[in-house]
Structure 1
Amino acid sequence: MYMEIYQLKQQGFKIRRIARKLGISRTTVYKYLEKSPEEMSGWMASTKTRVKKLDPYEMLIQTWLSENPDMSAAQVHDWLMERYKDLEVGESTVRIYPAFPKLL
């Protein structure tokens, strides 16, 4: 994504147009453009190796989704909150978690 943003900016696209074209916020575009290629490379590598809040619940989430294919991220979030009172996670985190199927 970084290279796409950088290339579009080099081609003269405005921030708003880049954001709209890539389906991201203008704030995200600004954040990416503030980083050097080296900083961006390091950041992207760290996102692949860090532990995510929902990793300990991945098998449970996958089981729920296999048993209930129409289950929404909101419902998964609700079920997690009911069962794990100490878990602090937002619905948007559930929605973007890799175990949760993406809508095409």
Structure 2
Amino acid sequence: RHQSNNRVIMWYKIRELYLKGFNKSQIAFQLGLHRSTVRRYLKMDENTLTAKLQHRRRYPRILDKYESYVCDVLSRYRFLSASQIHDWMKEQYPDLPVV
């Protein structure tokens, strides 16, 4: 979902710069994008962008099944570092994949 919000924001930034008179290469340089990405975004209207974002396939992630454990631990112990949580997960889940 966060990534979708970033794409909507990027679409608006591209539109804003284009309306100010910047060309695709200048917009790409300004935003750190490839020129073809800018061109693709400029071809989309807002409805097309929204439809495209709603119909994106969600691929399973390797660590999906551990998400609730991590959220639970973080809700109780907000001060833990990522490496501490990782160590706890290795103890809790011997089959934890290496990522």
Report what 1:57 is aligned to: 62
**SS of residue matched to 1:57:** coil
SS in 2 for 1:16: helix
Q: Pairwise mapping of residues 76-95 of structure 1 onto structure 2 (< 5 A)?
A: none
Distance 1:3 1:56 in 2: 29
Residue 9, structure 1, aligned to residue 10, structure 2: no
- Residue aligning to 1:42: 51
Give the gaps of 5 or more residues in structure 1: 69-78, 81-104
Number of residues paired by the alignment?
65
2:37 aligned residue: 28
What's the CA shift for 1:13? 0.6
Identity of aligned residues (%): 25
Q: Distance in 1 between matches of 2:28 and 2:52?
A: 20
Name the structure, 1 or 2, with higher relative contact order (CA <8 Å, separation 6+).
1
Higher Rg of the two aligned structures? 2
State the distance in 2 between where 1:33 and 1:7 align.
11
Letter in 2 for 1:57: I
Distance 1:13 1:57 in 2: 41
TM-score, normalised to structure 1, is 0.49
Report how far residue 58 of structure 1 moved. Answer: 2.3
When normalised by structure 2's length, the TM-score is 0.52
1:58 is matched by which residue type in structure 2?
A: L
CA deviations 1:18-50 (Å, max 9, x no partner) are 111111100000011111221011112334xx2
Computed over aligned residues only, the root mean square deviation of the Cα atoms, in angstroms, reads 2.7
